[in-house]
Amino acid sequence: MTGTSDGGRTVVLGERELAIGFRLIGLGDVVEVSSDHAQAEFQKAAADPRTSLIVASQSVRRALTEVQREHAENSLRPLVVFVPAPTGEYEIESISALAKRVLGVSLQVAP
């Protein structure tokens, strides 16, 4: 199981613990990265036209350049999702921010 339902590739970028977890659930395109080479691995995955989803740890997000972070936040193909790093440090993207980024709609709750 290395792809998504439309045949695109899912790539996971993260620390050893994260990589092991995704390999255990059957993903094959898993790259263990450190902050030293996170930028290069992200660029490689994002530039591959077969990649439809990138799952990366928050530590990878912090290692990216401003341009790469902006690309990740605005990209729909590949869609980029950041998950908590194994250290437990993470930033939570609100549901409304995720909907705005992915669907292009703004969610508001009436008072």
- Confidence (pTM): 0.73
- Average pLDDT of the residues of the chain: 83
Q: Is residue 81 over pLDDT 70? A: yes
Going by pLDDT thresholds of 50, 70 and 90, the confidence category of residue 35 is confident
Contact 77, 103 (CB under 8 A): no
Q: Is residue 70 over pLDDT 90? A: yes
pLDDT at 4: 45
Mean pLDDT of 6-31: 90
CATH topology of domain 9-103: Rossmann fold (3.40.50)
Amino acid at 46: A
DSSP letters, the chain, are: --B-TTS-EEEEEE-HHHHHHHHHTT---EEE--TTTHHHHHHHHHH-TTEEEEEEEHHHHHHS-HHHHHHHHH-BTTEEEEE--TTS---PPPHHHHHHHHH--------
Q: Is residue 6 over pLDDT 60? A: no
Which residue has better confidence, 101 or 10? 10
As a whole number of angstroms, the distance between CA 57 and CA 38 comes to 10
